[in-house]
């Protein structure tokens, strides 16, 4: 009898927390539909439900939230979009529940976010006839026309005007080419927001996420170097055998690997500034000046520093037991 009472209490708690989470998700969805900018917060309550009560409870909350939101906003597409967004929350909740390390939780989150973004693009394209690329092209055409008219009125030199006109005209094409890495960057951003919010919620329940490595100890896996090298080799081949598909692949891979090693280079810079006992304010100022100046040489040095650290362990993290995964 005691066991049944305990099971009933657990079920009641699951229903109560599930209902509260569904209400929060619906409110966030309506607010996001009206004002925007809160979409990355929607998976947080769903991840909490999955962690505390399992996959079935999370899926039930996702479905109920989507159904209620569809009724309130009179749009089944928004409800479907809400369920797709929920993929991130369910994936992170399961990863935390299974006791994954922070690195693998982050990878699972980014993967789930990328899958959700691709599904959203295809869903809107097939069901609603909405194309993000076409909408961006139309929006950019209007913005570029206003910018060009402003520059013409400002009597800008003809040569500079021609360069800016070419740059603005090529922006929609560049956006299409960079769409894969843009989806990945958004996935990283969305996962970071979700994990930060989930960490705050977890602390209220006395639970903590796996420990995040200090920024100065961040280090990429060794096989990232081979991805970086392969990308540079493809760029050389592209120079002799032009191909639009290969160009898109090289451009996206180069931005991804170069950006990843640049961040590791920043971590190395902070590591040695910390070792030199430079105050945090000065470290922030030095980093800000290095980034704001936009010097290509600084970017290149930090990127190559990250590559070298992966191979030669400049910070000696492996010896200290802080390297790798």
- What are the C-alpha distances in Å from 294 to residues 167, 180, 241, 272, 287? 19, 24, 31, 22, 11
119 in the same domain as 19: yes
56 in the same domain as 194: yes
Q: CA–CA separation, 83 vs 182, rounded Å?
A: 22
Q: CA–CA separation, 181 vs 11, rounded Å?
A: 43
Q: How confident is the model at residue 109 (pLDDT cuts 50, 70, 90)?
A: very high
User: Over the chain, what HEC string results?
Assistant: CHHHHHHHHHHHHHHHHHHHHHHHHHHHHHHHHHHCCCHHHCHHHHHHHHHHHCHHHHHHHHHHHHHHHHHHHCCHHHHHHHHHHHHHHHHHHHHHHCCCCHHHHHHHHHHHHHHHHHHHHHHHHHHHCCCHHHHHHHHHHHHHHHHHHHHHHCCCCHHHHHHHHHHHHHHHHHHHHCHHHHHHHHHHHHHHHHHHHHHHHHHHCCCCCCCCCCHHHCCCCCHHHHHHHHHHHHHHHHHHCCCHHHHHHHHHHHHHHHHHHHHHHHHHHHHHHHHCCCCHHHHHHHHHHHHHCCCHHHHHHHHHHHHHHHHHCCCCCCCCCCCCC
16 in the same domain as 108: yes
| C-alpha of 113 from chain center | 7
| Max CA separation in the chain (angstroms) | 87
Query: What sign has the CA pseudo-torsion 90, 96, 102, 103?
Result: negative
The residue among 313 and 11 whose pLDDT is bigger is 313
pLDDT score of 86 more than 80: yes
160 in the same domain as 28: no
Question: Looking at the domain assignment, is residue 126 inside a domain?
Answer: yes
Please write the tens of the pLDDT for every residue from 249-297: 999 999 999 999 999 999 999 999 999 888 889 989 988 888 887 678 8
pLDDT score of 300 more than 80: yes
Share of the chain above pLDDT 90, in %: 40
Question: Looking at the domain assignment, is residue 231 inside a domain?
Answer: yes
Question: What pLDDT was estimated at residue 48?
Answer: 92
Question: Looking at the domain assignment, is residue 150 inside a domain?
Answer: yes
108 in the same domain as 43: yes
The tally of domains found in the chain comes to 3
184 in the same domain as 63: yes
Question: What pLDDT was estimated at residue 316?
Answer: 83
| C-alpha of 304 from chain center | 24
Q: CA–CA separation, 260 vs 185, rounded Å?
A: 11
The residue among 98 and 132 whose pLDDT is bigger is 98
Question: What pLDDT was estimated at residue 313?
Answer: 86
Q: What is the mean pLDDT of residues 53-72?
A: 92
Question: What pLDDT was estimated at residue 42?
Answer: 92
For residue 50, the tally of other CB atoms under 10 A from its CB is 28
Q: What is the DSSP string of 35-72?
A: H-S-GGGTHHHHHHHHHHH-HHHHHHHHHHHHHHHHHH
243 in the same domain as 153: no
Question: What pLDDT was estimated at residue 2?
Answer: 41
Contact 249, 234 (CB under 8 A): yes
163 in the same domain as 62: no
pLDDT score of 3 more than 50: no
The CATH number of the domain where 46 resides is what?
1.10.1760
pLDDT score of 37 more than 50: yes
Question: Looking at the domain assignment, is residue 209 inside a domain?
Answer: no
Q: How confident is the model at residue 239 (pLDDT cuts 50, 70, 90)?
A: confident
190 in the same domain as 65: yes
Question: What pLDDT was estimated at residue 126?
Answer: 79
Q: How confident is the model at residue 1 (pLDDT cuts 50, 70, 90)?
A: very low
- 41-55, 105-119, 141-155, 199-213, range with the lowest pLDDT: 141-155
pLDDT score of 223 more than 50: yes
Counting DSSP H helices and E strands in the chain, the numbers are 12, 0
167 in the same domain as 74: no
CB-based contacts of 77: which residues, under 8 Å, 6+ apart?
123, 124, 127, 128
173 in the same domain as 90: no
Mean pLDDT of the chain: 84
Question: What pLDDT was estimated at residue 325?
Answer: 45
| Domain final residue, candidates 204, 239, 256 | 204
Question: Looking at the domain assignment, is residue 324 inside a domain?
Answer: no
Question: What pLDDT was estimated at residue 178?
Answer: 84
Structural domain range at position 257: 215-312
Question: What pLDDT was estimated at residue 84?
Answer: 92
Question: What pLDDT was estimated at residue 174?
Answer: 76
189 in the same domain as 63: yes
Question: What pLDDT was estimated at residue 270?
Answer: 92
Question: Looking at the domain assignment, is residue 222 inside a domain?
Answer: yes
User: Over 289-325, what HEC string results?
Assistant: HHHHCCCHHHHHHHHHHHHHHHHHCCCCCCCCCCCCC
Question: Looking at the domain assignment, is residue 193 inside a domain?
Answer: yes
Question: Looking at the domain assignment, is residue 318 inside a domain?
Answer: no
Question: What pLDDT was estimated at residue 8?
Answer: 58
Please write the tens of the pLDDT for every residue from 123-182: 877 776 666 667 666 666 666 777 667 766 666 667 766 766 776 777 777 778 888 998
């Amino acid at each position: 009898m005691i066991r049944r009472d305990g099971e009933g209490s657990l079920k009641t708690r699951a229903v109560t927390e599930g209902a509260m989470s569904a209400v929060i998700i619906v409110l966030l969805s309506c607010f996001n539909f009206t004002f925007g900018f809160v979409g990355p917060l929607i998976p947080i309550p769903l991840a909490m439900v999955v962690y505390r009560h399992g996959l079935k409870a999370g899926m039930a909350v996702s479905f109920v939230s989507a159904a209620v939101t569809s009724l309130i906003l009179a749009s089944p597409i928004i409800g479907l979009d809400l369920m797709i967004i929920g993929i991130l929350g369910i994936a992170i909740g399961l990863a935390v529940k299974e006791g994954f390390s922070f690195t693998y939780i982050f990878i699972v989150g980014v993967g789930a976010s990328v899958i959700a973004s691709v599904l959203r693009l295809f869903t809107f394209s097939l069901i609603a006839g909405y194309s993000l690329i076409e909408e961006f092209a139309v929006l950019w055409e209007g913005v570029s026309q206003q910018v060009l008219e402003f520059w013409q009125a400002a009597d800008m030199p003809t040569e500079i005007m021609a360069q800016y006109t070419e740059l603005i005209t090529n922006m929609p094409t560049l956006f299409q080419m960079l769409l894969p890495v843009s989806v990945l960057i958004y996935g990283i951003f969305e996962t970071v927001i979700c994990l930060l919010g989930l960490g705050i919620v977890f602390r209220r329940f006395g639970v903590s996420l796996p420990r995040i490595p200090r920024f100065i100890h961040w280090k990429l896996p060794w096989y990232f170097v081979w991805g970086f090298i392969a990308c540079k080799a493809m760029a050389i081949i592209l120079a002799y055998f032009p191909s639009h598909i290969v160009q898109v692949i090289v451009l996206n891979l180069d931005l991804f690997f170069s950006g990843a090693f640049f961040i590791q280079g920043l971590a190395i810079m902070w590591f040695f500034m910390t070792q030199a006992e430079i105050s945090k304010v000065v470290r922030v100022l030095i980093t800000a000046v290095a980034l704001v100046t936009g010097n290509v040489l600084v970017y290149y040095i930090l990127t190559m520093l990250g590559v070298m650290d992966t191979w030669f362990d400049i910070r000696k993290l492996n010896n200290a037991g802080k390297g790798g995964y």
